[in-house]
Chain A
Amino acid sequence: MTGPKIIFFVLAAAIVVFSILSITSRKILRAAIYLLFVLVAMAGLYYMMNFQFLASVQLILYAGGIVVLIIFSILLTSQINSRLDPPRIGHLVSGAVTAVGGIVLASLTILQFTFKPTDMAAIDTDMRTIGLQLLDTGIHGYALPFEVISILLLAALVGSIFIAQKNKT
């Protein structure tokens, strides 16, 4: 076992354990904090794969933004100490069967497939390359999706402000 492999297995174990805890915890605030742990461990995976920019975006946007939003909405809509009702047995069984069946089926398919990496030289994933490609209009450029998601995000945020507004005229 080499170093990156050990790190990967530690992070993977953390992700799996905390994601299961996050969907089974009866206290909703704890579930949100477990989700935060999952997201931070995923940022660790991105660091492990040398995608520093993606890892920092994950930390800022998910751990910093979305989890805080979720916690805000939890505090606005429920008591901290209130426990959630346990899931109905039928839901629990059908959900567990779906999840386990899906995991087994998909994992078997994945493990049977042989992936072939390309032999082309790796590109370095520093900020310079990412920035150049993100605003490039050429063949490897992503200027159009970048602009489209900016508009989408703006529209979504304006729309959500309007939806959450108190007294609409």
Chain B
Amino acid sequence: MIVLSTIVFFVGLMGVLIRRNLITMLMGIELMLNAVNINFVAFNHYLFPHRLEGHFFALIVMAIAAAEAAIAIALIINIYRQFATVSVDDVDELKY
């Protein structure tokens, strides 16, 4: 289970590294967050079944992932309005 979450985490990391589109990078980040969730839940279920700490950690991570996705997509839409592209190579101005 933990090995699975490791694999998913590093696949997500690779997604962030090799993609140049902002939306697909966001998808890589979602994969990484989900890998962490699997880890929390697996530890909770197999090692400490008398408490629910991993469960609540996973819930909080999900809520924060939702907030993060909402903000990221708002930013992406704004960037698309300014630059008419979502490729990270072309978005290279902070001020215009």
Contacts and interface: CB of A to CB of B under 8 A. Distances in A.
A85 B20 contact: yes
Interface in A94-135: 94-96, 98-100, 102-103, 106-107, 110-111, 115-118, 120-123, 125, 129-130, 133-134
Interface in B38-93: 38, 41-42, 45-52, 55-56, 58-60, 62-71, 73-78, 80-81, 86-87
B74 A164 contact: yes
A74 B23 contact: yes
Given A76-B77, A110-B2, A54 B60 contact: no
B76 to A, nearest CB: 6
A5 to B, nearest CB: 11
A130 B62 contact: no
**Which bucket holds chain B's interface residue count?**
35 or more
A39 B48 CA distance: 24
Given A45-B38, A77-B80, A116 B55 contact: no
B50 A122 contact: yes
A134 B1 CA distance: 26
Interface in B2-25: 2-4, 6-15, 17-21, 23-24
A16 B35 CA distance: 11
A80 interface: no
B27 A140 contact: no
- Consensus secondary structure, chain B interface: helix
Contacts of A133: 52, 56
A76 B80 contact: yes
Given A35-B31, A111-B3, A157-B70, A51 B63 contact: no
B96 to A, nearest CB: 15
Interface of A: 8, 12, 15-16, 19-20, 22-23, 28, 31-32, 35, 38-39, 42, 45-46, 49-51, 53-54, 57-58, 61-62, 65-66, 69-70, 72-74, 76-78, 84-85, 87-88, 91-92, 94-96, 98-100, 102-103, 106-107, 110-111, 115-118, 120-123, 125, 129-130, 133-134, 140, 142, 145, 149, 152-153, 156-157, 159-161, 163-164, 166
